[in-house]
Amino acid sequence: MAWMGRIRNLWRRDRVEREIAEEVRTHIEMRTKDNIASGMRPAQARVDAKLRFGNVRLMEERTREMDLMTWIETAGQDLRFAWRMLVKSPGFTAIAVMTLALGIGANTAMFTVVESVLVRPLPYTHPERLVYVKPAGASGFGSTSWLNFRDIRDQTQRMEMVAGYSEDVGVVQGKEGSVSVNTPRVTPNTFDMLGAKALVGRTFSEEEGKTGGPQVVILSEGLWRESFNGDPNILGQTVRVNGQTRVVVGVMPRSFRFPESTGNDITKALWFPLQPTEEMEKVRGYDFFNVLGRLKPGATVAQERSELGMIAHHIGEIDPKEGANLKLEVTPYQEMITGPVSGVFMGLVIALGLVLLIACANVANLMIARCLARQQEFAIRAAMGAGAWRLIRQLIVEGLLLSALGCAVGFGLACAGVWSVHQLPVDTIPRGNDIAVRWTVVLMLGVIAVVTTILSAILPALLASKTDPQKALQSATRGAGGRSLRRRLSGWLVAGEVALSALLLIATGLLFHTLWNLEHTRLGFDTTRVTMFMGMPADAAGFGNLGVTEENAKAPASVVTLVYQPALERIRNAPGVQDAALVTSPPLGGMNLGSSFKIVGYPNDAAHKYQARVTAVSGEYERVMGTPVIRGRMVTDNDTMAMPFVVTVNETLARKVFGEKDPLGQQIDLGGKDTGMMKPYTIVGVIGDQVDQSVSTPPQPYILLPYGQVPTTSLYYPALLKTIVNFVVKTRGNMEVAPAMRSIFKQVAPDFALDNFRTMQEAVDSSNFSQRLGLYLIGGFAGLAIMMVVAGLYGVLAQLVSYRRREIGLRLALGATPGAILRMVVRQGLAYVGAGLAVGIAVGLFAGRLVESFLYEVRPADAWTYVGVVIVLMVVGSVAALAPAMRAAGVEPMKVLREE
Amino acid sequence: MNKAKNDVLQGTLGLLVLKTLARGPMHGYGITVHIQRVSKDALRVEEGSLYPALHRMEQEGWISAEWGTSENNRRARYYRLTAKGRKQLAEEKKSWERLTEAVGSLLEGE
């Protein structure tokens, strides 16, 4: 293995040099001795010996050069030869390169996304030690209360820092009008914990995080530049947020995107210091607070979990009424952010791995086919004395060249893929902005290239090396049949390809069935010509500022009578508008205001405390949405403060709370003194269920309060009516709603920020977006896989037919009908497909459980899917087999036999 | 500088070395001495070229080398012809013969 020797020498330069030096020394000494023997004086003898050698250094140099030169020379020879071979069969080369490029490109793009989103640490100090604490079982970024946060912070031994935040929204008065922005409230130590520095000014001080502390604000770079023209003297200026003035103390750089859960809007947010309100200090069940901590060095998440168990237990002891059942859960922060997509990504990585394997199998098959065609060439070369290694090396160099070409094209495809990822709607993928091709990706490309070379070239190469020149030369002239190892291997490869594509097809089928189910789910509302949009008062209360006004204080006038009613009146009378209504949390509106409630007359214990989503609605809501009222009536605009307090509930609530009993006439208690909802509400109707958070999750209990009956003194008033409300408008034709709405609000309430106009159909589509995207991607991969299978199967069968021409001719001569020959070849093809299918389905049944979480009302062992996959692959197999089979049937016996 | 006339012709060094080694393993100095002696001083191996050539032939796999002890107990590297080298020798010999034949007939034709 001279090649290896040379490479080794390149590294072991020292040893080689020492050997050369020693050899030269020996040589000179021998010559000196001989010179003396022939009569020279010793000194002269030595000089002569040295002179004859010339420049020893130069000689050594030349010896070393020989190493590198021969290496480059032979490598160059191999490459040139490989290139010539590839150029000689452009069809083969094009197919092989494209096959590899598709596999490599897709994998590289996927790896880029995975690396950027899942693997790369968050841009904070010690990101690996950041953990998120939430009540056990809470979905997503579950929140707890300020009091629980305080107790966790004070009692923890394992976390070196505990910070908290609550997400909120508000309206800021910029240089050019009102803008609605995210206004997270954070504890001052948040910035320290994350290691974030202000771009301008400073972050919050301890003092600013206390009740009654200075009213300050930090702007995001985006907001600063867009709404304040990047004013360099912004520090110390006051800005109006939610109708209050606040002093700007700092600007955070664009790279600061905390809290990540806010999504891309955070780039235009502003931050308030969290100043605990009276409610927060009082009510342990006031769950509005997100808790983040940094573990001490060496502490593990498991340790923290057990510590939180103890803290929760302790909280239960000091506050048995509210904290008795508290259970806390801790998760690494990065996992919180990427958790929702990691499953999808892993699924896609697996799918693409399969595509790459299929691509390699196909290229391997092509190479094997070519080896067969080049058998004579190999045989001649072997007969001429080329060693087995030399032939293997030649094939590996060809494979490497193919892989390199595939990588080059694939890299282009990957860049296109990454570009298209950036075209996805914002916030489809967490950390989407960070996605970029980096050196790790290029490294990965290298790894993939090596893998593809090994998979696609080594096998054929090893087979070629087994060539027995004599036999090959003989059989090549005779075109003899017989089951060679090589042909059987091609068959296995095709069966393997079928198995892999069966897996992809199964995934496609399951996702397709899921999407079909989702699109045909009873939404509970009609999406036709309904537009929804968001409105925010300029003096928005914000969710973090909720409070109950003192009982005897004079109730302020409601925004309902001041703004919403007149606005709705105008909207309903606007041209083209059929119906319009206000609703705080519409279906798929992204708002989820929940509350606990009790039923008047039921026992006052934990078992009779229920949870529901709460919304305020105007009249006509059910007409706009086309949702049926099942019993009783819907609340209307006539249900005002002067009338008896009433609510409508949804079917799920009626069923969960009352079962078979009649819900009408029952009274709901929404908290009394704690919340300011002093009077109970009588249930007057039941409305049909609507999907709420997403199409694929079951509806939750839902309470619809008439917007005229939310007391302005209650906690519900700022939450339901003074922070964000939504309007739903049903139009007569397809029309753009936004301009008309903006002009109406300009007259009624110019400070209102209107935002987020979208049709209900858009809301539904975006809710199903991830499934749809998954279906398109996996479906696309499956299509690719099928094309490769067709090519592979066709290739193998065509090969088989040309290999067995003589045998087929003989059969025909002996009386076989062309039909029988046709069936024979198709049967052979379907045997490969059948074997592959059996394996693919077996693996699919086992692996189906992995995708279960993406399925909606589809079992992993979905019969439709499996039947469909079998039919598709059988049809595909038959089609691929048909052409070679016809060729076989068309063999002319006399001609073939005469060729003998 | 005009090279000594009896320096080994470019390209024939390999053939000479292979041929020399066909007689049996030998060290570098021995090869020079042998070529000089057998050619009755007509051919002289330039020592500065010998070792690079040997090294290259070793890399090509025509010869193999190992350290041994010389007749007067000095450590020396001994070169041995491999099977591949034997084939190479036959080839080079053939092409040399073709060359001399061609040159010979050309000269005679004049």
The reported pLDDT for the residue numbered A778 is: 75
pLDDT confidence of A427, banded at 50, 70, 90?
Answer: low
The reported pLDDT for the residue numbered A431 is: 66
Mutation test of the interface with chain B: which of A35, A62, A68, choosing the one with the most B Cβ atoms within 10 A? A62
Our CA angle for A586, A592, A593, nearest 5°, is: 105
Q: How far is A19 from chain B (nearest CA, A)?
A: 9
Domain presence at residue A670: yes
| Domain final residue, candidates A687, A715, A750 | A750
Q: What is the mean predicted confidence (pLDDT) over A519-533?
A: 84
**Beta-carbon separation of B51 and A65 below 8 A:** no
Q: What is the mean predicted confidence (pLDDT) over A301-306?
A: 86
Report the distance separating Cα A653 and Cα A666, nearest Å.
Answer: 12
| Domain final residue, candidates A326, A358, A389 | A326
Q: Taking CA atoms, what residue in A is nearest to B88?
A: A385
Mutation test of the interface with chain A: which of B33, B35, B41, B51, choosing the one with the most A Cβ atoms within 10 A? B51
pLDDT confidence of A900, banded at 50, 70, 90?
Answer: low
- Print the domain residue range for A545: 540-750
Mutation test of the interface with chain A: which of B27, B29, B87, B88, choosing the one with the most A Cβ atoms within 10 A? B29
**Beta-carbon separation of B29 and A27 below 8 A:** yes
Q: Round the average pLDDT of chain A to a whole number and report it.
A: 80
Select from A9, A27, A59 the Cβ nearest to the Cβ of B52: A59
DSSP secondary structure letters along A700-764: PPEEEEEGGGS-TTSTHHHHHHTT-EEEEEEESSS---HHHHHHHHHHH-TTPEEEEEEEHHHHH
The reported pLDDT for the residue numbered A389 is: 67
**Beta-carbon separation of B61 and A54 below 8 A:** no
pLDDT tens-digit map of A858-891: 777 788 888 888 888 888 888 888 888 888 888 7
Contacts of A783 (CB under 8 A, 6+ apart): none
The reported pLDDT for the residue numbered B3 is: 39
Checking if the pLDDT of A828 tops 90, the result is no
A153 against A468, higher pLDDT: A153
pLDDT tens-digit map of A615-655: 999 989 999 999 999 999 999 999 988 899 999 999 999 99
| Domain final residue, candidates A78, A100, A126 | A78
Q: Chain B residues with CB inside 8 Å of A31's CB?
A: 29
pLDDT tens-digit map of A311-343: 888 888 887 777 777 788 888 888 887 776 677
Q: What is the mean predicted confidence (pLDDT) over A581-606?
A: 84
Q: How far is B110 from chain A (nearest CA, A)?
A: 38
Lowest mean per-residue pLDDT among A176-185, A372-381, A438-447, A826-835: A372-381
Select from B51, B61, B76 the Cβ nearest to the Cβ of A2: B61
Are the C-beta atoms of A749 and A567 separated by less than 8 Å?
yes
Q: Chain A residues with CB inside 8 Å of B29's CB?
A: 26-27, 30-31
The reported pLDDT for the residue numbered A583 is: 93
Percent above pLDDT 70 for chain A: 88
- CA–chain centroid gap for A201, Å, is 36
Q: How far is A25 from chain B (nearest CA, A)?
A: 9
Q: How far is A64 from chain B (nearest CA, A)?
A: 8
CB atoms within 10 A of CB A208: 20
pLDDT confidence of A750, banded at 50, 70, 90?
Answer: confident
* Eight-state DSSP code of residue A198: -
How many CA atoms does the CB half-sphere of A848 hold within 13 Å? 22
Residues A632, A733, single domain; the answer is yes
A379 against A879, higher pLDDT: A879
Residues A354, A287, single domain; the answer is no
Q: How far is B6 from chain A (nearest CA, A)?
A: 14
Q: Taking CA atoms, what residue in B is nearest to A20?
A: B51
Contacts of A653 (CB under 8 A, 6+ apart): A610, A612, A663, A701, A702, A703
Domain presence at residue A729: yes
Q: Chain B residues with CB inside 8 Å of A66's CB?
A: 52, 55-56, 59
Domain presence at residue A91: no
Domain presence at residue A797: yes
Residues A362, A307, single domain; the answer is no
**Beta-carbon separation of B52 and A27 below 8 A:** no
In total, the C-beta contacts within 8 angstroms joining chain A to chain B are: 66
**Beta-carbon separation of A59 and B51 below 8 A:** yes
Checking if the pLDDT of A310 tops 90, the result is no
Select from B33, B48, B60 the Cβ nearest to the Cβ of A54: B48
B13-109: in CATH 3.30.70.980:
no
**Beta-carbon separation of B59 and A19 below 8 A:** no
Residues A651, A715, single domain; the answer is yes
**Beta-carbon separation of B60 and A33 below 8 A:** no
The reported pLDDT for the residue numbered A688 is: 92
Checking if the pLDDT of A856 tops 80, the result is no
Q: How far is B43 from chain A (nearest CA, A)?
A: 14
Q: Taking CA atoms, what residue in B is nearest to A21?
A: B51
Q: How far is A4 from chain B (nearest CA, A)?
A: 10
The reported pLDDT for the residue numbered A35 is: 85
* Structure tokens given for B55: 């090294």
Domain presence at residue A194: yes
Select from A20, A31, A70 the Cβ nearest to the Cβ of B29: A31
Checking if the pLDDT of A8 tops 60, the result is no
**Beta-carbon separation of B46 and A54 below 8 A:** yes
Are the C-beta atoms of A713 and A548 separated by less than 8 Å?
yes
Checking if the pLDDT of A268 tops 50, the result is yes
Domain presence at residue A553: yes
Q: Chain B residues with CB inside 8 Å of A23's CB?
A: 28, 51, 76-77
pLDDT tens-digit map of A439-463: 777 777 778 777 777 777 777 777 6
A365 against A412, higher pLDDT: A412
Q: Taking CA atoms, what residue in B is nearest to A68?
A: B56
The reported pLDDT for the residue numbered A477 is: 44
Q: Taking CA atoms, what residue in B is nearest to A25?
A: B76
Give residue limits of the domains in chain B: 13-109
Q: Helix A818-847 vs helix A485-519: angle between axes, to the nearest 10 degrees? A: 60
The reported pLDDT for the residue numbered A482 is: 40
Are the C-beta atoms of A265 and A222 separated by less than 8 Å?
no
**Beta-carbon separation of B75 and A26 below 8 A:** yes
Q: How far is B104 from chain A (nearest CA, A)?
A: 30
Checking if the pLDDT of A64 tops 70, the result is no
Residues A499, A362, single domain; the answer is yes
**Beta-carbon separation of A31 and B48 below 8 A:** no
Q: Round the average pLDDT of chain B to a whole number and report it.
A: 81
pLDDT tens-digit map of A189-205: 888 888 888 888 888 88
Report the distance separating Cα B59 and Cα A821, nearest Å.
Answer: 55
**Beta-carbon separation of A27 and B60 below 8 A:** no
Strands ordered across the beta sheet of B63-69? B26-27, B75-81, B63-69
Residues A370, A237, single domain; the answer is no
Residues A305, A358, single domain; the answer is no
B94 against A801, higher pLDDT: B94
Nearest to A319 by CA among A352, A366, A370, A281: A281
pLDDT tens-digit map of A531-552: 999 888 877 666 655 556 554 4
Select from A2, A27, A34 the Cβ nearest to the Cβ of B59: A2
Q: What is the ipTM of this complex?
A: 0.81
Report the distance separating Cα A536 and Cα B15, nearest Å.
Answer: 95
A151 against A376, higher pLDDT: A151
Q: How far is B50 from chain A (nearest CA, A)?
A: 9
pLDDT tens-digit map of B48-63: 788 888 888 888 888 9
Q: What is the mean predicted confidence (pLDDT) over A236-247?
A: 84
Checking if the pLDDT of A258 tops 70, the result is yes
**Beta-carbon separation of B60 and A2 below 8 A:** yes
**Beta-carbon separation of B59 and A70 below 8 A:** yes
**Beta-carbon separation of A2 and B56 below 8 A:** no
Q: Taking CA atoms, what residue in A is nearest to B49?
A: A59
Residues A37, A168, single domain; the answer is no
pLDDT tens-digit map of A680-735: 999 999 999 998 877 877 888 999 999 999 988 888 888 888 888 899 999 998 88
Q: Residue A140: which region, alpha, beta or left (left: phi > 0; alpha: psi -120 to 50)? A: left
Percent above pLDDT 90 for chain A: 9
Report the distance separating Cα A721 and Cα A600, nearest Å.
Answer: 25
**Beta-carbon separation of B77 and A2 below 8 A:** no
Domain count for chain A: 4
Burial readout A188-207 (b: 16 or more C-beta within 10 A, e: otherwise): bbbbebbebebbbeebbeee
CB atoms within 10 A of CB A783: 14
